[in-house]
Chains A and B, each alone.
Chain A
């Protein structure tokens, strides 16, 4: 075949494949004359428009409160609702293509799933708490869901969380929508950011399999949400194995059971750490202290060390102080640790038969301790 023969085949294929949606477009334009799209959507303005946030806030819709002090958030939320209208319109256009019967069936199915309990057993399933999901960032929030993974209630566990939940009523809402709204709110209020990107998800369900499945589902969903924002998230997931001791500790220190369990797991890996020291640390710092192979805990992404000097810089400082290059020492290890009320990097290495041990202040990068043993 000659090139121009192939080319004409390609032209034909695409001309035939391009669907005729002009009527749909016209309907959308007529419907949206009141919601004319922003000029910020056209090339040139694209980068300025914080598109990423739209996804997160989309689910929250009008439920997300607009903080009066933030113009930017206001703009994003307004934009979101416009986009939502357009999306709805588009869906409606598409729907017209389907036969009326299927539309009606779908509507009935949707209505019964949400509003009409089908029988006694299903009524019970919908009205008893099957799983308790905790989200810890610094705001700590508990979400009670039923067997069908619909949200029954959202309970703020501390004052930060009250600001996040606000007046939003989630009862009967889809779990993903709820998570999206809560995360959107946490990001817009600055609790989740490049500096503190860690989030702890814990699931408590008598059925361990369901707990693990739900935990995985939530971690994936949150990972997806955070990836579409401007920073990468670090998500820690665990299932709760509740016992008396755990509950007593949580009550004593006024923290959630999920945070209590995480701290206990971290301590079991590093016996120098004390429970009472770690209680006040935000999840991001706990994530930095956590070893990769901590039992019963799964992790996605890396905790942000933006507010600290960083493990590489700390290692360099120690090596420079001892007068070595990276490649003429052996057994080099560096890890986050907690000493005397602050986070430190512990850097260990060996050279010329001597062992070196350094502690570097995580905030200032200063050497707190430098020892050598024969």
Chain B
């Protein structure tokens, strides 16, 4: 596993293919029981998994459960994984299915009561005041599909074309929704509802 470098941020990967190959290698190592590879896979994709789960479930507790379930599943299914050059899509599909299961279990809308959103504050010591504003605005201002598109592009680093495939919606819709979402967020975050940047 020494040939796999440690990295933290998606932004560090300039080359998408290189990144996919890295994830593929991590899954391969996971399949043969190399926990170091599994840990690297986790470090590399946990924000994507958590972010996507949060955008679907709008509830930090549920998203954390899905994050755990997802990696338990990845660990047990790594042996069956066939690389088609899209390791992140595989992981995100598992995430999506787990989220759908949570929603089905709850048999209720993804929306949670207003007061629950505030639970976000203090969920995690790493969350700064600014992070909290960004997350809350994403949950409050954006519609569910807009939120998913933004998370998939920004946090998971998927191309708009890949998002179109993954969410089964036309590319033009992905693009227009993405641009509109960023505009909405920009308005909220610059002027804000009394928030100072």
**Which residues of A are in contact with B by a Cβ distance under 8 Å?**
1, 3, 6-22, 24-26, 28-29, 32, 36-37, 39, 41-43, 46, 51-52, 55, 86, 90, 93, 224, 227-228
Q: Across the interface, do A11 and B154 meet the contact criterion of CB distance under 8 Å?
A: yes
- A216 to nearest B CB, angstroms? 17
Q: Across the interface, do A25 and B68 meet the contact criterion of CB distance under 8 Å?
A: yes
Question: A17-B127, A37-B76 known; A11 and B190 CB under 8 Å?
Answer: no
Which residues from A are CB-within-8-Å of B155? 10-11, 14-15
Q: Across the interface, do A10 and B68 meet the contact criterion of CB distance under 8 Å?
A: no
Q: Across the interface, do B42 and A25 meet the contact criterion of CB distance under 8 Å?
A: yes
Which residues from B are CB-within-8-Å of A55? 104-105
Question: A11-B154, A228-B107 known; A6 and B185 CB under 8 Å?
Answer: yes
Interchain CA distance A36-B39 in the complex, whole Å = 19
Which residues from A are CB-within-8-Å of B72? 25, 28-29, 32, 37, 86
> Which residue in chain A gives the minimum CB-CB distance to B64?
A19
- A54 to nearest B CB, angstroms? 9
Category for how many chain B residues contact A: 35 or more
Which residues from B are CB-within-8-Å of A1? 186, 189-190, 197
Which residues from B are CB-within-8-Å of A90? 65, 68-69
Sampled A-B contacts (8; CB under 8 Å): A7-B154, A13-B138, A25-B72, A28-B72, A43-B97, A90-B65, A90-B69, A228-B107
Q: Across the interface, do A18 and B134 meet the contact criterion of CB distance under 8 Å?
A: no
Interchain CA distance A28-B67 in the complex, whole Å = 13
- B86 to nearest A CB, angstroms? 11
Main SS of the interface on chain B? helix
Q: Across the interface, do A22 and B11 meet the contact criterion of CB distance under 8 Å?
A: no
Interchain CA distance A224-B154 in the complex, whole Å = 36
Q: Across the interface, do B101 and A37 meet the contact criterion of CB distance under 8 Å?
A: no
Main SS of the interface on chain A? helix
- A215 to nearest B CB, angstroms? 20
Which residues from B are CB-within-8-Å of A227? 107
- A109 to nearest B CB, angstroms? 22
- Check B151 for interface membership: any CB of A closer than 8 A: yes
Q: Across the interface, do A17 and B124 meet the contact criterion of CB distance under 8 Å?
A: yes
Q: Across the interface, do B77 and A37 meet the contact criterion of CB distance under 8 Å?
A: yes
Q: Across the interface, do A41 and B77 meet the contact criterion of CB distance under 8 Å?
A: yes
Q: Across the interface, do B94 and A13 meet the contact criterion of CB distance under 8 Å?
A: no
Q: Across the interface, do B39 and A22 meet the contact criterion of CB distance under 8 Å?
A: yes
Which stretch of B15-23, B44-52, B110-118 is in the interface? B44-52
Q: Across the interface, do A224 and B68 meet the contact criterion of CB distance under 8 Å?
A: no
Interchain CA distance A137-B93 in the complex, whole Å = 39
Q: Across the interface, do A21 and B47 meet the contact criterion of CB distance under 8 Å?
A: no
- Check B2 for interface membership: any CB of A closer than 8 A: no
Interchain CA distance A8-B130 in the complex, whole Å = 12
- Check B35 for interface membership: any CB of A closer than 8 A: yes
Interchain CA distance A43-B77 in the complex, whole Å = 10
Chain B 98-128, CB-CB to A under 8 Å as 1, else 0, gives 0001001101000000000000100110111
A14 contact from B64, B75, B151, Cβ within 8 A: B151
